Every structure is written in structure tokens, then in C-alpha cells.
Amino acid sequence: MSEADPTDEEVVETASAAAEGVVLDRYKQSELTDLDVTVTFEDGVLDVDVYVNPPEDAEPDAETVADEAALAAQDAVDELFD
């Protein structure tokens, strides 16, 4: 790891912000019953878990948005290391 590499805290914050940004881009915050983004970065391994509970008739569906949010988190972290 070089001095230019981000800290673990920076990685977690970046991933979390990216994931939340995707969810809040798809749904109004006031529509959500629950939103939980859990990010860990240990030994160079990023783990992102996104749980979103929108209204039952919300489009797109929660699983799709959670998957997109997790991918956005990974992409944001990849950019930190580029």
C-alpha cells in the first residue's frame, strides 16, 4: 500500500456515500420506511450491504436499487485507487 492509497475510513465513507446517493436518486427519502447501508473494508476486501424498504408499489424494485447502490459503491472505491 503506497502513501497515496486512501485510508480504510476514506474507503468506507466513499462507498457509503455512493450507495446512499443511488438509493436517494431513485426514491424520495420521505418515501422510504428504512434504508441501511453497511460498508466494511478489511484487508483490502470491500463488503457492501444495502437494505432499502420503499413503498410496496415503488418502481424500480428495492432489490434492483440495492444492487445498483452496491455496484456504485464498488465503482466509487475503485476510482479512489486509480
- The Cα–Cα gap between 42 and 46 comes to 7
Give the predicted TM-score (pTM) of the model. Answer: 0.90
Q: What is the pLDDT of residues 40-80, one digit of tens each?
A: 999 999 999 999 999 888 888 999 999 999 999 999 999 99
**Does a structural domain hold residue 67?**
yes
Show the domain range for 66.
8-81
Domain of residue 71, CATH code: 3.30.300.100
**Does a structural domain hold residue 2?**
no
**Does a structural domain hold residue 19?**
yes
Contact 15, 77 (CB under 8 A): yes
| DSSP H or E segment with residue 15 | helix 8-26
Pull the grid cell for residue 56: 410496496
Distances 81 to 27, 54, 64, 78 between C-alpha atoms, Å? 29, 33, 26, 5
**Does a structural domain hold residue 46?**
yes
**Does a structural domain hold residue 55?**
yes
* Tally of structural domains, the chain: 1
**Does a structural domain hold residue 40?**
yes
